[in-house]
Structure 1
Amino acid sequence: MNSMLSRVRDVAQNMATSPQPTTGRTAIIDIGSNSVRLVVYDGPRRIPFILFNEKVMAGLGAALARTGRIEAEPMERGLRAAGRFAHLCREMKVADIRCVATAAVRDATNGPEFIARAAAMGLTVELLSGRQEAVGAAMGVLSGIPHADGIVGDLGGGSLELARIRDGQVHETISLPLGVLRLPQIRAKGPRLLERQVTKMLAKAGWRQEPDLPFYMVGGSWRALARFDMQLTQFPLPVVHQYDMPATRAEQLIRIVSHVDRARLKDIPGMSGSRVPTLTDAAALLSVVVRQLRSSRLVVSAYGLREGLLFEGLPPEIRAHDPLLVAAEAEGEAQSRFRGHGDRIERWIAPLFADDAAAARRIRRAACLLADVGWRANPDFRAERGMEIALHSNWVGITAAERAMLGQALFSHFGGGTAIAPGLEQLASPDALRRAMLWGLAIRLAQRLSGGVERPLTHTRLELRDGLLVLALDSDDVALGGEVVERRLRHLAQALGVKYRLVRGMD
Structure 2
Amino acid sequence: MALLSLLRAPAALPAAPVTARNAIIDIGSNSVRLVVYNGPPRLPSVLFNEKVLAGLGGSLSRTGSIDRKAMAMAATALARFAWLTREMAVPEVRTVATAAVRDASNGSDLIALAAAEGLEVEILPGEAEAIGSGYGVLSAFPDADGIVGDLGGGSLELVRVSGGEVRERASFPLGVLRIAAIREKGKDALARHIAGVLKNSGWAGRGSGLPFYLVGGSWRGLTQWDMHLTRYPLPIVNGYAMSAARIRTLGAMLTTASKQDLKAVPNLSSGRIPTLGDAAALLSEVLSGLGCECTVTSSFGLREGLLYQALDPEARREDPLLAAAREEGRRLSRFEEHGDLLNQWIAPLFADEPADLARLRHAACLLADVGWHANPDFRAERGVEIALHGQWVAIDPAGRALVAQALHTALGGGSDSPAPLPTLARSEMLDTARRWGLAIRLGQRLSGGLGAPLNRTRLERAGRAILLRYAPVDAALYGEAVEKRHRALAAAFGLEAAAGSAVSRSGSG
Query: TM-score, with normalisation over the residues of structure 1?
Result: 0.94
| Correspondence 1:116 to 2:145 | no
Percent identical = 55
Match in the other structure for 1:12: none
What is the alpha-carbon distance in structure 2 between the residues aligned to residue 460 and residue 321 of structure 1?
Answer: 29
Gapped runs of 5+ residues in structure 2?
A: 1-14, 505-509
Contact 2:19–2:39 (CA<8 Å) still a contact in 1? no
Q: Deviations over 1:182-241 (max 9, x none)?
A: 111111211211111111111222226331100000000100100111111111111000
Cα distance in 2, alignment partners of residues 370 and 121 from structure 1: 42
Task: Name the amino acid aligned to 1:440.
Answer: G
Task: Say which of 270, 279, 283 aligns to 2:280.
Answer: 283
Q: In structure 2, the residue corresponding to 1:470 is in which secondary structure?
A: strand
> Once the 2 structures are TM-superposed, how far is the Cα of residue 20 of structure 1 from its aligned partner?
5.2
Equivalent-residue separation in structure 2 for 1:303 and 1:87 (angstroms): 26
What residue in structure 2 maps to residue 77 of structure 1? 73
Deviations 1:315-348 (A, max 9, x none): 1110110111001000001111112011111011
Partner of 1:4: none
Alpha-carbon deviations, 1:475-506, whole Å to 9, x = none?
Answer: 11111111111100111111111122122456
| Alpha-carbon distance, 1:22 to partner | 4.3
Q: Secondary structure of 2:175's partner?
A: coil
CA distance in 2 between partners of 1:260 and 1:70 (Å): 30
> Partner of 2:32 in structure 1?
36
Preserved CA contact (<8 Å) 2:43 2:320 = yes
AA matched with 2:168:
E
Q: For residues 339 and 69 of structure 1, what CA distance do their matches in structure 2 show?
A: 54
Query: 1:178, 1:482 → 2: CA distance?
Result: 67
**CA RMSD for the aligned pairs?**
1.3
- Is the aligned partner of 1:106 residue 2:105? no
Determine the structure 1 residue equivalent to 2:134.
138
Q: Distance in 1 between matches of 2:51 and 2:329?
A: 30
1:31 and 1:100 in contact (8 A); partners too: yes
Partner amino acid for 2:71?
Answer: M
Cross-structure match for 2:442: 445
1:160-198 CA-partner distances (Å, limit 9, x unpaired): 110000001111111111111111111121121111111
Alpha-carbon distance between aligned partners in 2 of 1:186 and 1:20, rounded to the nearest angstrom: 53
The whole-number CA distance in structure 1 between the counterparts of 2:452 and 2:18 is 30
Q: Name the amino acid aligned to 1:411.
A: H
Match for residue 8 of structure 1?
A: none
Question: In the aligned structure 1, how far is the partner of 2:70 from the partner of 2:395?
Answer: 38
- On the 8 A contact 2:43/2:323 being kept in 1, the answer is yes
Aligned 1:448-463 pairs, distance under 5 A: 448-463=445-460
Q: Give the structure-2-normalised TM-score.
A: 0.94
- State whether structure 2 residue 83 is matched by structure 1 residue 92: no
Q: Secondary structure in 2 aligned to 1:248?
A: helix
Residue 467 of structure 1: CA displacement? 2.3
Partner of 1:231: 228
Distance 1:46 1:188 in 2: 44
Separation in 2, partners of 1:491, 1:418: 11
Letter in 2 for 1:203: K
**Aligned partner (choices 167, 173, 190) of residue 194 of structure 1:** 190
The match for 1:6 is: none
Residue 336 of structure 1 is matched in structure 2 by: 333
Structure 2 counterpart SS, 1:348: helix
Aligned to 1:212: 209
List structure 1 segments (4+ residues) > 3 angstroms apart after TM superposition: 19-24, 504-507
Ranked by relative contact order (alpha carbons within 8 Å, sequence separation 6 or more), the top structure is 2
Opposite residue 376 of structure 1, the aligned amino acid is H
Alpha-carbon distance in 1 for matches of 2:233, 2:253:
20
Q: Any unmatched runs of 5+ in structure 1?
A: 1-18
SS at match of 2:460: strand
AA in 2 matched with 1:320: R
Contact 1:137 1:154 in 2 (8 A): yes
